[in-house]
Amino acid sequence: MNEVSSENLNFYPYKIFEDQGELYLYTVNQSGLFKIDNKTIAILNQDRKEYTEAFDNVSSLLDKQEFDELLQKMKDVKFIESPENDNLIKTQLHKEIEKEISSLTLMIVQECNMKCSYCYGEGGEYYDKGKMSLETAIQSIEYLITNSKSEKLLICLFGGEPLLNFDLFKAIISYCRSREEQTGKTFSFTTTTNGTLLTKEIEEYLVNNKVTVQISVDGDQNTHNSNRYFDNKIGSYEIIIRRTKNMRQKGLLTARATITNKQFDLVETFNHLHELGFRAIPMSPAFNLLSDDDYKTLTAEYYRLIDHFEHLIKENDYVKYSKLSILNGFMHRINKGYVRSLPCGVGRSMYAIDINGDIYPCHRFVSNKEYILGNVYTSVSRREAFLEEINVDNHKKCGNCWARNLCIGGCPNENLMSTGSVGEMTENICELTRNIYEKLIKVYLRLTNEEKERLFNTKNNLTVVSKV
């Protein structure tokens, strides 16, 4: 007897996609995608029915062998509810929560030489202006070494504007290099800067020490200068472009563009930054500056950007489409397909350390003193409570959302800023996110096996449940 023949047909949540005349099943709990036909649809319509009744209802379309084979395939891909599958999901989630820390963002200076319109860090000061001491930096590094079993550790040198404390910047890297020899661990380094303080000396140091550098630049001159300016309201575009020329020409810089209603043409922004020679171009909206009407425009522009992304893939323009960091990241989530409950590595694999040695889930929380998890001079005591708070399974609005395993409840800090809760997104952001993923899933379905292998460096992940 088939091993599901004595059970009710209880399916986990799903969504049906249609593209180019074909039907596909998307399983919400694991982000699985499966090509299906009208026979599978008929079985899906038997959800919550007993086995015998379900077969009787579809017997005009399938014989018993076909029926049993389809059910077994569904059980094999963990689409049919069972204690075994429930336990497997719980085990996967537990492993996710137990992920160990492997990176730190050090707020080496909570000051900035600019006054950008959308800054979430209160002018880079995070309500606590000052510079980190070498003692606190060393204590933070030792905390990471002691509390991580990983052999590869990452240090992000952040601010404010981190180059305002370049002496500490260099001292941290020097100290980490000395500890590599003593601990057997290896460090890598990254920094995000506004680029206005770059000099030949700093550039040579960053290159020689293999520091990954991200520059905040929002697009063309008018777009950038409308939001990213100095205290005197003079824009920073010209000085950034001049001072980053050498590193851009060598393909050593990432451009992080913040999207506002000053410029919603995402394709134009991407093309402009590509022509400037940036090696990767993540783009993200400043949600705190958007109106309800802005979201309608932004959705349409994301659609245009996704169409452009697909065109570049079809044209095999790897150099260009690989730079669309956010869309590539979203597509990898669609392709990988596994159980998730926590967004990024916030509060798990990464912490941020402020100038006082206080530990936060990430750099975006440094203004929110209520989210201090501990201190590098003592210990972390609120990690578990924070992870429970951001677990998407505990988000009321996410329970019935088909995109919950892709979105993972959104950025906790953006949620906090917009709704007052790390576990609740605004409806505008929810709708935008669902629209983006729905369009990207359809792009994914149109990719050939060869295109998937190029994009993901892996084999085709699309499984056929029943042949058409």
The domains of the chain are located at 8-81
Q: Alpha-carbon distance 126 to 146, whole Å? A: 28
Q: Of 197, 209, 130, which is closest to residue 166 (Cα–Cα)?
A: 197
Q: What is the pLDDT of residue 465?
A: 37
What is the helix (H) or strand (E) element at residue 191, kind and residue range? Answer: strand 186-193
Say what the pLDDT of residue 4 is: 55
Query: Can you list the pairs that 392-396 forms with residues at least 24 positions away whose Cβ atoms lie under 8 Å?
Result: 392/340, 392/341, 392/342, 392/343, 393/93, 393/341, 394/423, 395/423, 395/424, 396/423, 396/424
pLDDT tens, N- to C-terminus, the chain (468 residues)? 455 555 789 999 999 999 999 999 999 988 999 999 999 999 999 999 999 999 999 999 999 999 999 999 998 888 998 888 778 777 776 677 767 899 999 999 999 999 999 998 888 899 999 999 999 999 999 999 999 999 999 999 999 999 999 999 999 999 999 999 899 999 999 999 999 999 999 999 999 999 999 999 999 999 999 999 999 999 999 999 999 999 999 999 999 999 999 999 999 999 999 999 999 999 999 998 999 999 999 999 999 999 999 999 999 999 999 999 999 999 999 998 888 889 989 999 999 999 999 999 999 999 999 999 999 998 888 999 999 999 998 998 998 999 999 999 999 999 999 999 999 999 999 999 999 999 999 999 999 999 999 999 865 444 433 322
The beta strand positions in 38-142, using DSSP E, are 49-50, 103-107, 109-110, 130-131
Determine the Cα angle at 319 with ends 271 and 337, to 5°.
100
Take residue 112 and report the two structure tokens written for it: 């900035």
Q: Is the pTM of this model over 0.75?
A: yes
Long-range contacts of 207-210 (CB under 8 A, 24+ apart): 207/247, 207/250, 207/252, 209/173
Q: What is the pLDDT of residue 99?
A: 76
For residue 212, the cross-strand partners are 190
For tokens 């409806």, name the residue.
427
- Please list, in sequence order, all residues whose beta carbon lies within 8 angstroms of the beta carbon of residue 410, skipping any fewer than 6 positions away: 343, 425, 429, 430, 433
User: Using CA atoms, how far apart are residues 186 and 247, in angstroms rounded to an integer?
Assistant: 25
| pLDDT score at 338 | 80
pLDDT for position 468? 23
